[in-house]
Structure 1
């Protein structure tokens, strides 16, 4: 007896084959749309982080799209084997699903959030505001856009149906399926290792894509002594949130006055011997002063904002309080900072203004020759001044004629903004706008900051470094020797909370 497939079974088989290819091409479209997440996030700076990003991008998005096909389209191929109906329903589902993915990507770009129940209130308020300003033209445009998008899906569905038999003759399906499966498995296996080791270039990508729940296996690994759970929890406690999407700066409104007669100045040398420059000047040295930044640009940021460099990439649209507050309260503000957004003076204009003994806030980033030229005309009896330098991750010779700054046990660039504002008469709480402190009214004998991917805490005798994975090193501040002491996690946790105050929750 010769057994042949019934027409219905043949149609179902062809529909299922068509459905897999329809899902594949929509996977490619979804991956392209998902590039919005990738390129609007901070890209990893390690090879392993980049491998995980690529495998997670392709593996997770293909998994989401294929699961949608399995749940919503595949059952129709068996239960309702009507070619036109299945193609129409599949096209509508694909058009709506990819439109939702694009909408979620736009929400992520603007707010750093995905569409979810927790973000529903924010989206509802934003949508209400946008809709209130919509006219019939905007609604017509969106309706037309969706019709065009749906038409594209219908064209794709019909084109693939006509070519289903041709695809069967070519052995594309298995290698493509294996590629996406390999990406999916690689991303989850890599994340299990990264989560156990708190490897930040991977762990910080956890919330990049929608409906992403990367695999972890801490309980299983600790059960078989592959993970020290106590050590893991300690290292996790010492990690700092580095995926900063928004800030509260200042943390609340500032209420303070500025003395309209203030003459406050900051000179920052890009290089050169500061000690030789000030040898004959009536200034005192600020002891134990450090530039704990990874670059000159980061040091410049910390001086003006009074914040560590971890905030640098999100803070530049906001004017530094050090510049904003005096200007709004009527004190003339002059900044010579070539290439920096808030530099508002040319060299000739700044030099001319600096030579005058008028009320002002004057800040300049200069060479030793320029500093010498400015200081030769400066009246130290009429103005207050701080002279420091940009020397990444180094102790810096820093001088001032402010009272009491020579008794400092540890200081850094983040302390300059609150010190200068206090010198101008602003007595508001410095913690509202800076992680530093007023050097003329010290409240603590330690400082904490971020240096690249590390957290650095300095106290009178020790330098403590914690890397992005929560591992720590302790050094003697005087000799630089590494010590094998136990870490005081409560002090460091306090420091991390101090650094994190400006991160928007």
Structure 2
């Protein structure tokens, strides 16, 4: 009696395990189809080996995570609870949940550039909420339809493989497919090891494309977004964020600004802090903030101040002598003391914005609607520094978070001149009256700069990264925040062709 019961139990378990393998093969096919979207989310490889690695990794990694999901869920259930009808139903539900989750992750990755994770939960929820509120009926029908289609597929496959198990066992497909997947798995890891050792970024930039794959490094993140000068790296092992290879595509400005004002703004730039403080002592209406973030490189600060853009675009703009998009017949810039901006200088003393290389004797225009004053960085080392910014606008200095030079011109055009759409379309600086978060990007001395609250992340020309405190300047031991940096890099590249 006991032997019979044991034999019957073993037979059920054996059948369920055999069925489970075929059910898993069917789901590998489904997940391979869904995961194709990851391959189209980023720029394609540029070499044959890159395409080969993409194919073998897509095939083997997707198959691997599908098989692991089977081992962790359906396999133990089959051993503990060997009742075919119940197991098949539970397997269909579990597989539907897994495939739906992968579909959601693929959608998030395609739109945001990173996978589902807790650190990016606000951005993910915002994306989904925007989609839902934009077209609630269509989104609900579409999302529900996908889940129902996946469930129908799972139930169909579950029943078909169980009722045709004997015939399926005669096929040699599983044996060949398993061998192919194992070869691809070994080949993908071998290629990656070779690529990592030989600096083949066409391959390593694919890290983290598929879920649960290689962790993204600062270097591979930059390579993936085409911010690495690979030729220089091959020659001198020096990865550069090279602005000379960057082109600037100026956005088309709106035809006109609605209710544009004739406000006047004075921006006073002092060469040293002593001169700034001497001037401020004569201007009791100026208020201060100590969270003004500016590059150590003076030219980069001035460029951002005029164009509202990081110095990432400085070379192509200066080379072509392109004027800021915000300039027009009604919006002019008077420059005093900065020869590099002579080609956009207006001699009209009643210009909308006046930029002055100031000293203690500098005076403010009587009809100036707003005044900004700061001193250029004096440090010879480093990339960025926080200093003091004075403004006649109380709201500006009370803004939460760091303020950059590009924010000054964006606020001047967007708020004081009432050209909010123009500032938003043509600048990366924030209109401080419309700021919705405390994040920002910059670029100086071949270093990518991104900040979030008090944390500044610097990624240098070798792909190394460092987190520092904006207020205190000390290093912060924290992992690379990939979702935030992906968003920041996309923002930096907004005006590239």
The normalised TM-score by structure 1 is 0.48
The normalised TM-score by structure 2 is 0.49
